[in-house]
Amino acid sequence: MDGKVISILGISILFLITLPYWLPPLVVKLRIFLFTKVNGEEGISIPSDRINASEFRRIYSNKSASGRSEGANLSNLFWYWLSPGAEMHQEHIENGEEYNQIASVTKAVLSISNQEIETLLQKCGAPAFSETMIKSWKIIKLRDFIMPIWVRFFYELIFGESCSKEDEKIILKHSSNVVSALKCCALRDMPTRNVLTKFLIDKLNQGKFKYDFPGNFSVEEKALYLQGVFFTTAIVQMSDAMVHTFLALSKRIDIQKDLVQNKDNARLYDNVITETLRLYPLFGIAHRITKDAIQVDDQNVKEGSVLCFNYPKYHRIGYDNPDEFIPERWNTISKGKSNYMPFGIGTNRSCPASNFSLILMKKTMSIGLNQFTFHSSVEHTRSLPNRGSCILVSKKYKLTKGKRIALLSFLKIQDQWEKVYVSISQLLFGFIMILHARNLKLTTSYYQKERYNKQKITP
């Protein structure tokens, strides 16, 4: 081989070996650039150079920051990702009579005692964490492992009966597609989602949903409501919340031990949950459309502006080592006095399931940590494109130090290489979906139709 061939070979090998280190960050930068170009820069970001973090709560809770969807391009994208039926999703409809009716159903479903919540979770969750499933150790994707638990849990909460394997598959396929599309790891799969709508219509027609539904909603609208709030939001949010918790703990074996040895120390559990939701808030951006002008410092934010509340940014201001997972910090600082708001602001449509979710998170942690130790070396970001790769080790199995190091190294290398193709597919899928959402304009056309219908009724 002559020198030239050897140099080309050498450069090619170097290119390939270093690919996982420079390609994914480059693709992320390109993705943000393209998304902004295609989608346009819309909205006033809070906090930002213009509006500081101390204004976050005041502006969020302002009476005029009350528009939910109408009038923002961003809504077209959210409605696209949450289709079908974003117009029936409690989170996305405008304040008014229909909103109140829908919110009252959610409230009724979530009004069960703490004891009932825990009993149902024990039934639906414990079998997955049973030692019969994993006798020694196993590499898993936390999201794939945990999501079926929430499918079974919310199915039984809604319909009052156990979820069959076939029904579980229908719901799981839908929820997995929503979460994958939201993270641009897959395209939106409408046929799969429509199967769930049809399935829920059948359930409602069979009288399986026992709660009163005020108002004049059709069966299809009711099905879309259930699909959006419980078989999308509830399952996706609880899955992500637990993936973040276990993945963060998988890098702090000392805290895992502490939690197992001090089961009754509620403070320990609270600190882990608080810190998880601070560092990995489940909402990236929540937006509102102003119904009137708002005064911010010396500036006038005019009516019809889109306010974008940036949770990850807000949750990093005012903390020592803000990017580190340090549950112990909550021994000396308080949630009320910190820049911390994982469930939104009470006066402006905060999460109706905040207490409910915290009980579930605590109980799931306790079930999981009782059976397994969690280890991981993968990258942990808020959007979790790697679905949280993790090694589950049965408490009854002794993993030697050598084996642990070998497994963690394997996981790290696998994660680096996975990032190469995941980041490229995220770029591609994200671009396609943003263009598609821009074309469909689901929110804009829905409100145009609404206005047209109203004009026809009251000439």
Which residues are near ligand HEM by CB under 6 A?
90-91, 103, 106, 229-230, 233-234, 237-238, 241, 277, 282-283, 286, 342-344, 349-353, 357
Closest by alpha carbon to 315, among 298, 293, 340, 291?
340
Strands of the 285-289 sheet, one edge to the other: 44-46, 306-310, 285-289
Residue 348 C-beta: closest distance to ligand HEM, Å? 6
Residue 345 C-beta: closest distance to ligand HEM, Å? 7
Residue among 24 and 342 whose Cβ is closer to ligand HEM:
342
Residue 71 C-beta: closest distance to ligand HEM, Å? 15
Residue among 344 and 385 whose Cβ is closer to ligand HEM:
344
C-alpha span between 222 and 216 (Å, rounded)? 10
Residue among 64 and 423 whose Cβ is closer to ligand HEM:
64
Residue among 24 and 327 whose Cβ is closer to ligand HEM:
327
Residue 33 C-beta: closest distance to ligand HEM, Å? 27
C-alpha span between 445 and 76 (Å, rounded)? 9
Residue among 107 and 403 whose Cβ is closer to ligand HEM:
107
CB atoms within 10 A of CB 446: 17
Residue 19 C-beta: closest distance to ligand HEM, Å? 35
C-alpha span between 64 and 291 (Å, rounded)? 5
Residue among 60 and 429 whose Cβ is closer to ligand HEM:
60
Contact (CB, 8 A) for 42 and 74: yes
Residue among 74 and 393 whose Cβ is closer to ligand HEM:
74
Q: Report residue 19 as tokens.
A: 């690919």
Q: Measured over all CA atoms, what is the biggest interatomic distance in the chain, rounded to whole angstroms?
A: 86
Q: Which residues pair with 285 in a beta bridge?
A: 310
The count of C-alpha atoms lying within 13 angstroms of the C-alpha of 82, restricted to the half-sphere facing its C-beta, is 30
Residue 329 C-beta: closest distance to ligand HEM, Å? 19
Residue given tokens 């942990």 in the structure block: 380
Residue 280 C-beta: closest distance to ligand HEM, Å? 9
Q: Which residues pair with 374 in a beta bridge?
A: 392
**CA 445 to chain CA centroid, nearest Å:** 27
Residue among 102 and 407 whose Cβ is closer to ligand HEM:
102
Q: How far is CA 429 from CA 15, 187, 307, 416, 421, in A?
A: 25, 6, 26, 20, 12
Residue 143 C-beta: closest distance to ligand HEM, Å? 14
Phi, psi of 186 (to 5 degrees): -155, 165
